[in-house]
Amino acid sequence: MEHPGQFCVGITFKSGSIFVRHEQGNLIYAKFEHSISRELDPQTHTHVVIANMTMHEGRWMSLSNERLLELRTTADQIYKAAMAHELQKAGYRLDFAHDGNFELQGYTPEQVNEFSLRTQQIDAWLAAQGIEPDQATGADRTRAFYSTRAAKAAPDSAELQREQWLERGQAAGLQPAERHEKGPMELEQTTPRQEAERAVAMARKHLGEREMAFSRKDLYANAARFVEGRASYADLEAAIQREFKAGELRERPDGKITTRGGMEAEKFLAHHLEAGRGAHIKVMSDAEFDKSLGLWERKKGFALSDEQRNAAHMILTGNDRFQGVQGLAGTGKTTLLEFVREAAESKGWAVRGHSNGAEQARKVEQESGIKSGTTARHLIDEEIKEKDAMLARAALRTLDRRSSLSPRPDFEKLEKDKSVTKSQDNGGRRYYITRSGETYTAALYQQSRSVEVRNMRHAGLTKKTYSVGRDGHVYRQGGTLKSEAAAAARQGINRSVDAFFGRGVASLPWRALIKHEAKRALVKHENWGRVGLLRGSLVKAQLGIGDAIARSAEYRALQAQAQSRDADKPMRILNVMDEASMSATTDFNKVIKSTEQAGEKTVFLGDRLQHQSIGAGTAFEQAQAHMPTVELGRDSIRRQQTEEAKSIVGRILDGDHAVAVQATPAVEIRHAQEAALVQHPEKGREQSEALRVAAREDNAAVIKKLSRDYVALPPAERDNVIVITSTNSDCRGINDAVRDERKAHGELQAGVKVETLERTDKTAAESKRAASYRPGEIVQFGASYKAIGVEKNAYARVERTSAEHNTVALRLESGHRVTVQAGKANLQSFRQTEREFAPGDRIRFTKNESLTRSERDAGKADGDRKLNGMSGVVMKIQDGVMHARLDGGREVAVNLREYRHIDHAYATTSVSAQGQTKNQVWVHHNTEGGRHGDRESYVNLTRMRDVAKLYTQDVAKAAQQAGVRLNKSTASASRDEVQAYKDARQVKQMNAGRGAGRQAAATRPAPQPAVARSKDAGRGR
């Protein structure tokens, strides 16, 4: 109760016309500790009743307790962490779940479920509502809890139920929990203080990955979740205060918490964009621009709008390193880019593009001609180039510092030395970096030991080999057909062995054995002999000349590689970042940094009204204040073709989202809700819960109606319809309903069941925590781990986790079992599902296909398998291979045993729909699911050219939800945010303060706060 007493409760009293809130730490409360559930299962828990009174300056006053409900879940998380702490101190071992819940070690899931009837009831209710229990939100589980809670039908006494518990336990094979003399914390190498600091740092990183600012309650709740009972609440509280004191955590004026990293990221963005003003070169002059534009417009047969022309003029004639284009949906940004590309290329510039989504990048490339990929891939490529340039510069510096008399580095010794860091550039050069910072690469010190020459006696068809031995003498191999054939055979065997086994560590013994046996069998036939002094001198001279030429060529190649990332030299490369509004501040800053390092130029295109990034920050909105930016506004909108469509989009742009939704032709089904109102006419919890359940029923009917309407369209017309919804759950529901309709019409036949994978939603901090992985999840390795025999991109199934050791036990597809440290392994986790696919199905690929080792050895590039975000139609499924034609016309074949990232594509989420355009837009708005708001409404309704249609169970509520403002937070609170916080707080205090200041008792002396305990003792949650 320390946490609610410290942060949740205060008093409010009237001072003139202002209500002032005072934090209080003295609560009066009674604890009732119970050990039984309503279903008569053992369940240790505590009820706390707080008296509406507290002491202030010698007077009893009523509480201002509006924050108690807000922080109840945080207090619950702290409660569970405290319980886990005490249990582990007592010597019990615990298994933790992803949400902070835990169980005693040593019990199977079946044994736990035997005493979890309430959980079974809640899961069954969720499944009946079409909600997967593992994916249910906290609100879903709360509704399920109250909907399934029965009245108490037996005395609330653990003693009376103990006999039946023992009988059930014995039947389930339960044994008393093992208690160790030393608890896990006593065996740990770390202290509770260190564990608390680790948990708080994880909570900061976890919250800061998605938002620049977060609430204090979320900070405490996640710190309690991550600590896993290894520290007390007092340790956590002290660690949080140390983070505030050190500046890692900072409080904004509106009460929200931000981080040092967030503040520095926003400062970096502003500073480097400002420094980019006038820091590059123009692509062309004003006169050249006018000439290029005139030629282009005559060729195309239409003219750019004034705003498009201004944007193109800024990009091509400005000398700024960074520029921005803020363009509303449908303003022809890709048309503008087509002209920019052609004009820039005519002046010898290279134009490259990237976007946050693969599908958006494909459309940019298709419509503008700019070669484009994803921003993630762009950043990886830029990081590789920067690393290669750094390695080249370091190797050249080391060479230049060396004396001409210095001995050649011993590369065999460097390879074996474990203190030497080994690295490799994208061209395959291997580098050796010593502890002193010296960097060597073999080609700069090339010293050949052998040379081959064609034997003209055999018409040049065979070769003789001259080699310098360790004794300094030159030896010759060959001279006869037999000897030269033997040497050629041994070289062929060596090449074949390397090709067959690869160059991994695991195959090294086999390769060495086969090569040794080949040498032993053939070397005696190779005819080695020592040559004379004159011939030996000529061979050495030939080797020296060849080495000098090779070293010189390598020096020039490394110079070019080092200078390719010269920040001080303007490069004639123009980068275009599309959908920049969807980029998190961290990625936005990486683009800024890579642009500067390469000496290039970047244009950011986006729309501040569209969806923002999943990651933290509002980079594109903030950037517009620090770089030259041109706007493409209403005057440039060309997408909407009908007056009805223009009117709806106009309402959205005016901020009248509700009016826009109400003006959209709608299909509304609310039969179940109307029946619920008849059954529950009086307002209250029962009516509210009945309406929620009924709304879910109506949503299912809405999806069925939408699917029937969709399939009733001619196939050609379906291609011009985009169905948009808010959540992945509803997207799956629509996909399944459309498939059912198509199968009923005989359009889908010979379907094949396929195991598919859906990515789970884990932050980087969560992925480093073993408890975040659930048994049954599938993980993919992001790197090779030779020590345990795991290749990059290999899949494995989670079997169990250990919070105590932070390890994840996995079973590879080969059947081999491995255990990895969650904090060190590079793992990406997925949820396994089963879907049916048939010829004619519309599908979407959700991940790039990985090249096999043999494909890489054959010279295939990753670009051959870029599938992420691509949509298409299944042509056939044969022998475990799916053949599909992508929307762009390209045909692909994927092995379903190796690639499982496929989904149906009859519907899409609003976020994925961004960047698409169709004649008709059908918006599915489930008022009981998703975070609806202004950005979603804007994106959904601006996808159409001609017609929009709304499918919902409640038009009025959908209109109400359509205008809710949903904005990502910034590290620095805006004036509007601070004022809104003050206004909201004042209203709450005025409401809570009505009648505040009443004395609960007259001016008698106040006794000390007391704590009451019930007789039904127990420890628990």
Least confident of 31-35, 205-209, 1011-1015: 1011-1015
For residues 500-504, give the mean pLDDT: 63
For residue 66, count CB atoms less than 10 angstroms from its CB and return exposed for 0-12, middle for 13-18, buried for 19 or more: middle
Q: Is the pTM of this model over 0.85?
A: no
Please tell me which residue, 389 or 456, carries the higher pLDDT value. Answer: 389
Query: How far, in Å, CA of 913 to CA of 579, rounded?
Result: 12
* Contacts for 334 with CB less than 8 Å, ≥ 6 apart: 363, 364, 367, 368
Query: Model confidence over 307-326: pLDDT tens digits?
Result: 999 999 999 999 999 999 99
End-to-end CA distance of the chain: give it in Å, rounded: 12
Confidence of residue 15 (pLDDT cuts 50, 70, 90): very low
Residue 113 CA: distances (Å) to CA of 117, 652, 799: 7, 50, 18
Q: Which residues pair with 827 in a beta bridge?
A: 781
Answer for the pair 744, 781: CB distance below 8 angstroms, yes or no.
no
Closest listed residue to residue 211, CA positions, set 833, 759, 763, 638: 763
pLDDT of 1010 strictly over 60: no
Q: Would the CA dihedral through 39, 42, 44, 48 be positive or negative?
A: positive
- Phi/psi of residue 224, nearest 5 degrees: -65, -35
Q: Which of 624, 618, 626, 609 is nearest to 586 (CA)?
A: 618
Distances from the Cα of 124 to the Cα of 136, 150, 344, angstroms = 12, 15, 62
- The predicted model gives 739-755 an average pLDDT of 92
Q: Please give the pLDDT value at position 441.
A: 87
For residues 537 and 682, give the distance between their C-alpha atoms in angstroms, rounded to a whole number: 108
Q: What is the pLDDT of residue 1009?
A: 36
Distance CA 911, CA 731 (A): 12
Task: Report pLDDT digits (tens) over 947-981.
Answer: 999 999 999 999 999 999 989 889 887 666 666 65
Domain 756-833, architecture per CATH = Roll (2.30)
pLDDT band, residue 116 (cuts 50/70/90): confident
| Alpha carbons 736 and 388: distance in angstroms, whole number | 48
Cα dist from 357 to 374, 375, 779, 892, whole Å: 6, 8, 23, 20
Tell me the C-alpha to C-alpha distance, in Å, between residue 590 and each of 204, 379, 608, 827. 21, 7, 20, 23
- The span from the CA of 104 to the CA of 93, in Å, is 6
Residue-level pLDDT at 1002? 37
Cα–Cα–Cα angle for 796, 802, 805, nearest 5°?
115
737 pLDDT tier (thresholds 50, 70, 90):
very high
| Per-residue model confidence as pLDDT tens digits over 639-655 | 989 999 999 999 999 99
Task: Pick the closest to residue 39 from 123, 97, 98, 116 (CA basis).
Answer: 116
What span, in angstroms and rounded, lies between the C-alpha atoms of 272 and 703? 49
Q: Are 803 and 754 in contact (CB under 8 A)?
A: no
For 18, other C-beta atoms within 10 Å of its C-beta total 10
The H helix count followed by the E strand count for the chain is 35, 41
Q: For position 523, what pLDDT does the model report? A: 74
187 by Cβ neighbours in 10 Å (0-12 / 13-18 / 19+) ranks as: exposed
Nearest to 218 by CA among 775, 969, 986, 726: 969
Angle between helices 533-563 and 375-401 (to 10 degrees): 130
Q: What is the DSSP letter of 635?
A: G
Band the pLDDT of 1008: cuts 50, 70, 90. Answer: very low
Average pLDDT over residues 279-296: 94
The DSSP output letter for 1007 is P
pLDDT digits (tens, 9 = 90+) for 605-622: 999 999 988 899 999 999
pLDDT at residue 940, as a whole number: 93
Domain spans of the chain, in order of start: 33-257, 265-356+571-589+600-636, 640-751+838-850+867-963, 756-833
Reported in sequence order, the residue ranges of 182-270 that DSSP labels E, i.e. its strands, are 213-214, 249-251, 257-259
Contact 28, 61 (CB under 8 A): no
In the beta sheet, which residues pair with residue 949? Answer: 922
The proportion of the chain whose per-residue pLDDT surpasses 90, expressed as a percent, equals 38
| Residue 999 pLDDT level (bands cut at 50, 70, 90) | very low
Distance of alpha carbon 766 from alpha carbon 747, whole angstroms: 43
* 13-17, 283-287, 441-445, 664-668: least confidently modelled range: 13-17
Mode of pairing for the β-strands spanning 918-925 and 908-909: unpaired
**pLDDT tens sequence across 38-81:** 777 787 888 888 888 777 777 887 776 666 767 778 888 888 88
Q: Which 8-state DSSP code applies to residue 30?
A: E
Q: Residue 907: helix, strand or coil by DSSP? A: coil
Confidence of residue 813 (pLDDT cuts 50, 70, 90): confident
- To 5 degrees, how large is the angle CA 153–CA 155–CA 156? 105
Per-residue pLDDT tens over the stretch 77-105: 888 888 888 888 888 888 888 888 888 88
Other residues' Cβ atoms within 10 Å of the Cβ of residue 769 = 24
> What is the per-residue pLDDT for 462?
64
Higher pLDDT, 161 or 138: 161
pLDDT tens digits along 466-476: 777 766 777 77
Cα–Cα distances in Å, from 626 out to 35, 589, 828? 61, 13, 36
Average pLDDT over residues 135-164: 70
pLDDT at 260: 94
- Mean pLDDT value across residues 282-303: 93
- Distance in angstroms (rounded) separating the CA atoms of residues 338 and 356: 19
Collapse the DSSP code of 818 into the 3-class scheme (helix H, G, I; strand E, B; otherwise coil) and give the result. Answer: strand
Q: How far is CA 250 from CA 71, 207, 264, 266, 480, in A?
A: 20, 14, 12, 14, 82
Find out whether 672 and 698 touch, Cβ atoms under 8 Å.
yes
Element (H, E) at 802: strand 795-802
Contact between residue 875 and residue 884 where contact means Cβ atoms under 8 Å apart = yes
* Residues counted in the chain: 1021
Mean pLDDT of 863-872: 71
Residue with tokens 């890709």: 334
A 10 A CB-CB count for 151 gives 5
Q: What is the pLDDT of residue 261?
A: 93
Check residues 176 and 14 and name the one with the higher pLDDT.
176
Give the C-alpha separation, 669 to 647, whole Å.
Answer: 25
Residue 569 host element (H or E): none
Asked whether residue 141 carries a pLDDT value surpassing 50, the answer given is yes
What is the mean predicted confidence (pLDDT) over 256-285? 94
If pLDDT is split at 50, 70 and 90, which confidence band does 226 have? very high
818: amino acid identity, one letter: V
- DSSP-derived letter for residue 149 is P
Give the mean pLDDT of 154-162. Answer: 69
Q: In whole angstroms, what is the distance from residue 396 CA to residue 483 CA?
A: 42
SS3 content of the chain, % helix, strand, coil (to 5): 45, 20, 35
**Residue 1 clears pLDDT 80, i.e. is over it:** no
Q: What is the pLDDT of residue 515?
A: 79
Query: If you classify domain 265-356+571-589+600-636 with CATH, what class do you get?
Result: alpha beta
Residue with tokens 């009923």: 744
Higher pLDDT, 63 or 212: 212
> What average pLDDT score do residues 286-303 get?
93
Q: Give the DSSP letter of residue 774.
A: P
Across residues 886-898, what is the average pLDDT? 86
pLDDT tens for 823-850 read 888 999 999 999 999 999 999 998 876 5
